[in-house]
């Protein structure tokens, strides 16, 4: 199955859980707990990806990336951000060339 299709299907399921919570559903639980819980999970999953990468564990990075994508989709639904909003932004960024930010200057005495 194509990534876009899977992400769109998952997004739809997450929207459905927000609108029609199901007892015992993890997604429904996240919406009930609110923004702070969703953000906490995004932070945890991000950290776990970093650890997996530092451990050179492809399997761990793939697994944790899927967790992060899921939690980001929950945040997007909670914030009213549609997948097409991401597509539009990514398309704009793809058109940029030589967009590397300059190196920051070091301030003497600050490490």
Q: Does domain 3-86 have CATH number 3.50.50.60?
A: no
Using CA atoms, how far apart are residues 70 and 38, in angstroms rounded to an integer?
10
pLDDT score for 75: 98
pLDDT score for 40: 98
Using CA atoms, how far apart are residues 59 and 98, in angstroms rounded to an integer?
33
pLDDT tens string 9-61: 999 999 999 999 999 999 999 999 999 999 999 999 999 999 999 999 999 99
Q: What's the sign of the alpha-carbon dihedral 97, 65, 78, 4?
A: positive
Entry pTM: 0.84
């Amino acid at each position: 199955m194509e990534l876009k299709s899977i992400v769109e299907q998952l997004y739809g399921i997450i929207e459905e859980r927000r609108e029609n919570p199901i007892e015992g559903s993890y997604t429904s639980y996240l919406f009930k707990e609110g923004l702070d819980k969703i953000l906490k999970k995004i932070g945890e999953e991000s950290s776990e990806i970093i650890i997996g990468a530092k451990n050179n564990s492809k399997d761990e990075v793939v697994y944790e990336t899927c967790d992060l994508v899921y939690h980001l989709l929950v945040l997007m639904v909670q914030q009213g951000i549609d997948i097409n909003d991401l597509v539009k932004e990514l398309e704009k960024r793809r058109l940029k060339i030589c967009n590397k930010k300059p190196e920051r200057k070091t301030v003497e005495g600050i490490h």
